[in-house]
Amino acid sequence: MTIELTPIGYVDNKSTSVPRHCSVSKVEGRLVVDPQYQEGLRDIQPGQQLVVLFHFDRSPPFTPDRLVQKPPHVKKKLGVFSICSPIRPNPLGLSVLEVLEVRGNVILVKGLDMLDGTPILDLKPFVPPSPDMP
C-alpha cells in the first residue's frame, strides 16, 4: 500500500531554534496555507487551539535501530511510539498551537515547535477530552 500526502502549506518561522515540543514553546510564527484552501480557514478564530499535522522533512531516515531512543530530557531509552522524536517510521508530527490572528490564507500562531519551511499536511480544531471519557 502506498499513501501519498500533499502539503497544504508551510510554516514561516524566523526563529533560529525551536523547542522540542509545542507544550513548552512560546515561539510565534505563521502558518501559510495555499490560497486554494483559504475558504477552509474561515471559521478559525483567535484564541482557539489548532492541531497542526506536519512532515518532519529534515529528519534523518528511520532505521530499525531507532525503535528505541533516548530523548534528551529523559535518562533512559524509550520506544519510539512513546516519545515525540522526529525520527520515526513515518515522519509525521502533531502540534497544538494557539491562534493569534487569521489574515486571509495566513494564520498567526504561538507555540511553534516546527522549523521554518516545515510542510503542513492538515489542520484540525483541538477538541479537549470529554470529562465523561474513562
Confidence check: pLDDT of 30 > 90: yes
Q: How confident is the model at residue 25 (pLDDT cuts 50, 70, 90)?
A: confident
> What number does CATH give the domain 9-60+93-125?
2.40.30.70
Q: How confident is the model at residue 32 (pLDDT cuts 50, 70, 90)?
A: very high
**Cα–Cα distance between 53 and 42 in angstroms, integer?**
19
Are the CB atoms for 25 and 100 separated by under 8 Å? no
Are the CB atoms for 96 and 50 separated by under 8 Å? yes
**Cell output for 36:** 486554494
**Cα–Cα distance between 63 and 52 in angstroms, integer?**
26
3-state secondary structure of 14: coil
Q: How confident is the model at residue 132 (pLDDT cuts 50, 70, 90)?
A: confident
Condensed to tens digits (0 to 9), the pLDDT of residues 79-130 reads 999 998 899 999 999 999 999 999 999 999 999 999 999 999 999 999 988 8
Q: Which pTM was predicted? A: 0.90
